[in-house]
Chain A
């Protein structure tokens, strides 16, 4: 077998290992999913009437708010799952088996890429689940198949970006607790954007941050695609730029970090 065939096999082996972990111990993933699901139900059924009053100059009803909310909840799911990834990478790195991998004649990158691919698959599965709940409580998309495809592509790319950053956070954290603290912004950022309320409704000093942080352009683009309201060039470009930028940054950061000598 050639070395590239070996490398490919190492990557699928590591991916399988991570999926096996996720399947064997789904509690972490499920716990993290509780947050976006609870927020979805809370904002729709408890705050729904108040929140919808702030949309479209007061003409919106609860169903409109579900539609507005859903893209944000999906991105909250991405952020939350990423936090779980940071924790599981940090935990994994404290395991002796990682040192074993380092002394084996395997593709070095397979350890991290296995984590990343496994995590993206987990994230997408979580998104499908949350979207299903959204449909169950009355979310209706108004998107052509092409728009659905574009939405799926964007979500996958952005998940990849957030996952690489999460892996980096997991690698720099000494343990699970550290990773869950350092990774908190992954869960908080969607809340500090346009997930729940339009950025226009925010105080001006905060608006600049809310508008340009990575999650908002992605949420806005997703909203445009799913609700058929048009995406706006700025948001689409920003969303792609953030996604690609974070993929590159997260990849370089994580691999550099992994190449470092393990602490004694």
Chain B
């Protein structure tokens, strides 16, 4: 075990991320400095620094094996780090894990429901373990089952639930104790598109209630949709941090795409328009552009002036896929989707 323990007052080192947008220290729900974890000589987390302001959604984005689940496991007191200063809900993780546990709710990647008992019994189990009075426990359980559309299935064993229902029950159980900080480890992995959108709405509702959400995902769209701040984790290091907009600005990549069917027209256009990149295989030209109305008009005027008529014109703004590719050298979704089926 390597102990590179850092003093409590040592400032965060490493890349500060695009913007530490003026967050007050008192309002930080989750803070990690120099977080390290190794299994044997395999380093899983190699010095992670992150801060999550209270009441915001933080997305930890990365391919499989990047260490996302390890971060969640450590921050939710499931496993111990080798080094690092960690504070969750104002409590030091090493000194007072039980106080941290009282403040957080965790929904792991693999369903944490008791399949042998019914959905309702699962909820009442949580009510008991959160030490709610019996009557209040029943009320909270019934309310959450209703909210997550599980009332009808409440009396059936949880093992018979569909993937989406299990995930909803899982989150409902997490909410029984009214946690102010919630960890969601890949909350939509393996869900169909409709269940995924339901889950997104659940996260938005939580944030509307003032809950801090820390989620991991391998889907860029998900981070883009939900997160106030995104950190990209690759090979145990944070390679970028910021809002979706800030991350997108890290990579150039906005362009207007012109596609031709006629090779002659393609060659003529390519000759006429000098400031382009060519893709000879698909007869496509890329003209750099930020996608704004003004720039688009300029491009169109330019095309008219050069008498170029493309068969198809599309505007491509950089998305997180571009960011991810640029930062990690891996295309995110296709690879992880393939790995997902192998597991």
Contacts and interface: CB of A to CB of B under 8 A. Distances in A.
B141 interface: no
A100 B131 contact: no
A104 B132 CA distance: 14
Nearest to A94: B110
A97 B112 contact: yes
B128 interface: yes
Interface string B259-295: 0000000000000000000000000000000000000
Interface in B102-154: 102, 104, 106, 108, 110-117, 121, 125, 128-131
A24 B115 CA distance: 11
B284 to A, nearest CB: 44
B90 to A, nearest CB: 15
Interface stretch (A6-14, A162-170, A177-185): A6-14
A23 to B, nearest CB: 10
Given A24-B116, A95-B115, A105 B98 contact: yes
Contacts of B177: 104
Contacts of A261: 78-80
A62 interface: no
A1 interface: yes
Contacts of A103: 76-78, 101, 104, 106
B311 to A, nearest CB: 52
Contact of A17 (B111, B114, B173): B114
Given A6-B131, A96-B108, A262-B79, A104 B101 contact: yes
A20 interface: yes
B176 to A, nearest CB: 10
Most A Cβ at <10 Å: residue of B73, B102, B115, B116:
B116
Contacts of B78: 99, 102-103, 261-262
Interface string A79-97: 0000000000000000111
Contacts of A10: 128-129
B70 interface: yes
A96 B110 contact: yes
Nearest to A6: B131
Nearest to B125: A17
Contacts of B56: none
Contacts of A205: none
B80 A95 contact: no
Nearest to A13: B128
B106 A13 contact: no
A37 to B, nearest CB: 25
Given A96-B111, A106-B129, A264 B69 contact: yes
Nearest to B110: A96
Which of the four size classes fits the interface of chain A?
Answer: 20 to 34
Contacts of A95: 112, 114-115
B266 to A, nearest CB: 52
Contacts, number: 70
Contact of B106 (A21, A100, A106, A264): A100
Given A21-B117, A261-B80, A99 B128 contact: no
Contacts of A24: 116-117, 157
Most A Cβ at <10 Å: residue of B111, B112, B157:
B112
B48 to A, nearest CB: 17
B167 to A, nearest CB: 11
Most B Cβ at <10 Å: residue of A20, A25, A104, A261:
A104
A261 B70 CA distance: 12
Given A105-B98, A264-B69, A9 B116 contact: no
A106 to B, nearest CB: 5
A20 B128 contact: no
A100 B116 contact: no
A24 B160 CA distance: 14
Interface string A193-229: 0000000000000000000000000000000000000
Contact of A9 (B80, B108, B128): B128
Contacts of B173: 100
A99 B108 contact: yes
Contacts of A16: 128
Nearest to B131: A6
Given A6-B131, A261-B80, A13 B125 contact: yes
Contacts of B116: 20-21, 24-25
B36 to A, nearest CB: 15
Given A9-B131, A103-B77, A106-B129, 16 more contacts: A6-B131, A13-B125, A20-B117, A25-B116, A96-B112, A97-B112, A97-B114, A99-B108, A101-B129, A103-B76, A103-B104, A104-B129, A104-B177, A261-B79, A262-B79, A264-B69
29 contacts: A9-B128, A9-B131, A10-B129, A13-B128, A16-B128, A17-B114, A17-B117, A17-B125, A20-B116, A21-B116, A24-B117, A24-B157, A95-B114, A96-B110, A96-B113, A97-B112, A97-B114, A99-B78, A99-B106, A101-B129, A103-B76, A103-B77, A103-B104, A103-B106, A104-B129, A104-B177, A105-B99, A262-B78, A264-B39
Interface of B: 39, 69-70, 73, 76-80, 98-99, 101-102, 104, 106, 108, 110-117, 121, 125, 128-131, 157, 173, 177
